[in-house]
């Protein structure tokens, strides 16, 4: 089973990008934000969930660091909204 990825895509609206949790062929919308070239380049091919929360990957880029700060809350919301388990903590909680 492949690991869940965090990816951004163009929203079709000028200056806005959408972030998704991607599991195989399923895309789960997380949030959208203003386009930042560095953020788009970092997330356009996808980042494995295991590395998505690491500040080492930011290279002191505040735009990427802000996305990392937003991810836990947005993923928790997506888990409730779509009825899925993305985070290991949620998977353990649902198994009990």
Identify the domain containing residue 76 by its residue range: 5-95
Mean pLDDT per block of 10 residues along the chain (96 residues) reads 85 94 91 94 92 82 91 91 76 52
- For the chain, the domain total comes to 1
Query: Which pLDDT does position 88 carry in this prediction?
Result: 58
pLDDT of residue 87: 75
CA–CA dist 32, 66 (Å, integer): 13
- pTM, two decimals, is 0.85
Q: Give the per-residue pLDDT at 52.
A: 86
- Separation between Cα atoms, residue 57 and residue 89, nearest integer Å: 23
How confident is the model at residue 94, as a pLDDT? 54
């Amino acid at each position: 089973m492949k690991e869940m990825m965090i990816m951004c895509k163009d929203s079709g609206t000028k200056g806005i990008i959408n972030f998704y949790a991607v599991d195989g062929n399923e895309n789960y919308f997380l949030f959208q934000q203003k386009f930042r070239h560095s953020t788009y380049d970092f997330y356009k091919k996808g980042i494995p969930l295991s590395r998505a929360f690491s500040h080492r990957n930011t290279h002191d880029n505040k735009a990427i660091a802000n996305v990392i700060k937003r991810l836990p809350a947005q993923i928790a919301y997506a888990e409730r909204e779509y009825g899925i388990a993305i985070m290991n903590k949620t998977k353990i909680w649902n198994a009990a």
